Amino acid sequence: MPLKGFLSSKGSSLLRGRRGSAASVLSDSEKLAMLDELEQSGLGWFWACDSDGNLTYLSGAISERLEVPLEDLLGKPIPTIFNPIEGEGRTRSLSLMLGTHKAFAGFAVEATKGTNGAVLRLAGQPVMNANGKFEGFRGTGADITVEYHRDAETERLAKFDSLTGLSNRHRMAHQIETTLTAFKAAKRNCAIMMLDLDKFKQVNDTMGHAAGDELLKQVAARLSRSIERECEIGRLGGDEFQVMIPDVDDRGVLGDIAMKIITMLKQPYSLEEGRCVIGCSVGIAIAPHDGINADEVVRSADLALYAAKNGGRGQYRFFSGELENEAIFRRRLEADLGKAINEKQLFLKYEPIVDAKTRTVQTLEAHICWNHEQRGEIDEEEFASILEGSSQVNDVGKWLIREACKHAAYWPQTVRVAVNVPVPLFNSSDFLDDVKAALDEADMPAARLELEISEAVFYGDTTAVDRTLAQLFKLGVRLTLDEFGSGYSSLAYLRRAPFDAIKIDEKLVAEADRHDSREMGLIRAIVALSGALDMDTIANGIESNALLASLIDCGIDYVEGPIFSDPVSRETAESELLGEGWTIEPVADRTKRARRRTVYRRIQVIHDDHSYEVTLRNLSKSGALIQGLADVPKGTQFVVDLGGGQLAVATVIRTNGDTQGLEFEQPLIDDGSGGLCTRHRVSPYALAAAGAALAALSPGNYKGMEGGMLGQAASIPQFGYAPGFVHEAA
């Protein structure tokens, strides 16, 4: 339709004032010319359709903007030409809008044809004839492409992390809040994972922020690939990430996902500034078991993450009710560390490093322990986890070197002392002076001090690292590359660094003990490499004679581990070193002390409608040993309440007096920290629906849940407590 036809008597209202009076004294031809110029300029576009919604007029400028010939547009239904922009059409469609025969404005659309991504904003006015019959629409259009994409980008930046493209903190909080609110009504489960990168700060500080940014991008990409199910992934800031996985409460599945994340993120990264290796710790909480609303569940996941990091990093933890007290006490320990140094609460234990062939002790490795005034003795492993990341790490490291040298000065001259050097201490400007001062103060030859240095020091300024290593070599101390094989073990720094020995990572040794194939081949290759570079090799964490024999067969020079001795006190070490030397024969039943707490604790077992308190003496994946009940026949079924909604169906398979052996119907799974847990927990929603007595179960987070007694008539308990068993009646 030509512009003159478009501006018929019924459409001329576009040129009139509100009261219908003429807008100007221009002639009709002048008005047409003015509108034609307006169309050509792109400042104003016009369109019209008939009563069926078929396009009858369209400004040529719009056709050109859409890069679609005008003849391909005229006569076509408008809804087939334009689509509402995503978000605009969620509540109304173009067909419905035209079908109402009512005026509209500000409706954003994009063309169904053409590929230039143009976005238009349409306005339309219904046209009625003299009899009030609807004849179509006439309206205007405007190109808002730039404005639309600018606004869309602003909206995206408000919801997504600009560096990684993942959801940002605000969007994650909103998504979790809305999801958990909806899931509460639908009685569905939802898991929240909190992730923190291990050693990221070290990379950021030593390789620069540009390297840190690139590393975060690669982490985000790996994280997205590692979770093969519906989820929401976000970066909360720094090196903190969060994952929401709806409709999953199976802790076996979640543990597998967490382990896959940890495994993928610890693989080496290639950056422009070099290569690096980091790790990841994961905390997991599940709604509604660990909280009903977003604040509760996220806080539970945070506590689980804190526990995972304190447990040695590179692991996952599920939330449990006891973690809150554990976290509070751990923070107190970190705060008390400065006091521990000043008040001489720290002390050293020494672990023998033995010549693999002669069994004589060649070196004693110093481990720091803490005699805490409330906690008692904190062993070397727990102390190391407290120290990592502490502001006191340099002060403790200096104290360690001074104290170890002071003790070693009284040992035979053939025995060395080894100390592990924290990366921040190695990178400090006065590290060399501290080592010299410790040797001078003890009046001990430098060759008797062995400094164990982690691969992580090489992530920093290579020039400064090389200079420090060269100065230590010149001083005469012995240098050992610690945890070799735990990360990116580069031959480049082995060639240039003056190391005397390589200490193979304990985890690699443990894998060789379990599989004895590929890992043992790696150890054999490391031994050959060290021999070519004129370096000794040390393997630690050895617990079995078979592994020891295999390592010796590989050519390992020195060995260390529970099979020889746990760390001993200074007094014990000095008494053993007296005389002709200290020789230790391996003993196969010496194994590393279990890190998890004793299993002796009170639990409840349920039979019919009665709950009995018993002592849990032993717990494995397949069963448990309980004590406290008398006259329990084989074949009896119990529901074992392990706490926090963990109910396991078990059958008595053996009985002896007041002690019963139980076999679980479904095996327990690893909880990520050396313990065991049930794969599923009874949902508070299910308990409430069944009218269960929530108070009768072990403590769990059942806030906001309703529940009462089943209302059944009480029956007579079938079992009584064994004589001498102290039952704490409710």
pLDDT for 703: 42
Is the pLDDT at 12 greater than 70? The verdict is no
Is the pLDDT at 688 greater than 70? The verdict is no
668-682 mean pLDDT:
83
pLDDT for 447: 95
Is the pLDDT at 593 greater than 60? The verdict is no
Give the pLDDT confidence of 502-552 residue by residue, as tens digits: 998 887 887 776 655 677 888 888 899 888 889 999 999 888 888 898 899
pLDDT for 325: 66
- Bigger pLDDT: 715 vs 508: 508
- Bigger pLDDT: 221 vs 208: 221
Is the pLDDT at 96 greater than 90? The verdict is no
Is the pLDDT at 13 greater than 70? The verdict is no
C-alpha distances in Å from residue 64, one per residue of 42, 83, 521: 10, 18, 69
pLDDT for 569: 94
Is the pLDDT at 620 greater than 60? The verdict is yes
Helical axes 169-186 vs 145-159, angle rounded to 10°: 70
pLDDT for 90: 44
Give the pLDDT confidence of 271-287 residue by residue, as tens digits: 888 888 888 999 999 99
Contacts of 94 (CB under 8 A, 6+ apart): 78, 79, 82, 83, 84, 107, 109
pLDDT for 201: 82
Q: pTM of the full predicted structure?
A: 0.61
Tell me the pLDDT band of 490, cut-offs 50, 70 and 90: low
Choose the most confident range, by mean pLDDT, from 141-150, 180-189, 400-409: 400-409
Give the pLDDT confidence of 646-670 residue by residue, as tens digits: 889 999 999 998 999 999 999 998 8
One DSSP character per residue, 289-353 reads TT-SSHHHHHHHHHHHHHHHHHTTSS-EEE--TTHHHHHHHHHHHHHHHHHHHHTT-EEEEEEEE
**Mean pLDDT, rounded, of the chain:** 83
Is the pLDDT at 245 greater than 60? The verdict is yes
What distance in Å separates the CA atoms of residue 509 and residue 514, rounded to the nearest whole number? Answer: 9
In single-letter form, the type of residue at position 230 comes to E
Class for the domain spanning 160-321 = alpha beta
626-641 mean pLDDT:
92
pLDDT for 259: 92
3-class SS of residue 501: strand
Residue pair 205/255 in contact by the 8 Å Cβ criterion: no
Q: Does domain 330-577 have CATH number 3.20.20.450?
A: yes
Pick the CATH number of 3-150 from 3.40.1390.10, 3.20.20.370, 3.40.50.200, 3.30.450.20: 3.30.450.20
Tell me the pLDDT band of 9, cut-offs 50, 70 and 90: very low
83-87 mean pLDDT:
74
pLDDT for 571: 94
pLDDT for 65: 79
Tell me the pLDDT band of 460, cut-offs 50, 70 and 90: low
Tell me the backbone φ, ψ of residue 187, rounded to 5 degrees.
Answer: 60, 50
DSSP letter assigned to residue 563: T
Give the pLDDT confidence of 99-155 residue by residue, as tens digits: 889 999 888 888 877 656 788 888 999 999 989 899 999 998 888 888 887 877 777
Is the pLDDT at 86 greater than 80? The verdict is no
pLDDT for 305: 92
Is the pLDDT at 389 greater than 70? The verdict is no
pLDDT for 143: 84
Please give the structure tokens belonging to residue 542: 């050895």
Is the pLDDT at 420 greater than 90? The verdict is yes
202-223 mean pLDDT:
89
Residue pair 643/710 in contact by the 8 Å Cβ criterion: no
pLDDT for 87: 55
pLDDT for 307: 86
Class for the domain spanning 601-721 = mainly beta
3-class SS of residue 549: helix
550-571 mean pLDDT:
92
Among the residue ranges 427-436, 490-499, 576-585, the one predicted with the least confidence is 490-499
Tell me the pLDDT band of 691, cut-offs 50, 70 and 90: low
**Where are the extended beta strands (E) located within 485-643?**
501-504, 536-539, 558-559, 568-569, 601-607, 610-619, 623-627, 629-630, 637-641
- Bigger pLDDT: 598 vs 350: 350
> In terms of DSSP H, where are the helices of 71-118?
78-81, 94-99
Q: Where exactly are the structural domains of the chain?
A: 3-150, 160-321, 330-577, 601-721
Is the pLDDT at 97 greater than 70? The verdict is yes
Is the pLDDT at 699 greater than 50? The verdict is no
Tell me the backbone φ, ψ of residue 697, rounded to 5 degrees.
Answer: -85, 165
261-274 mean pLDDT:
89
C-alpha distances in Å from residue 140, one per residue of 92, 124, 541: 19, 7, 79
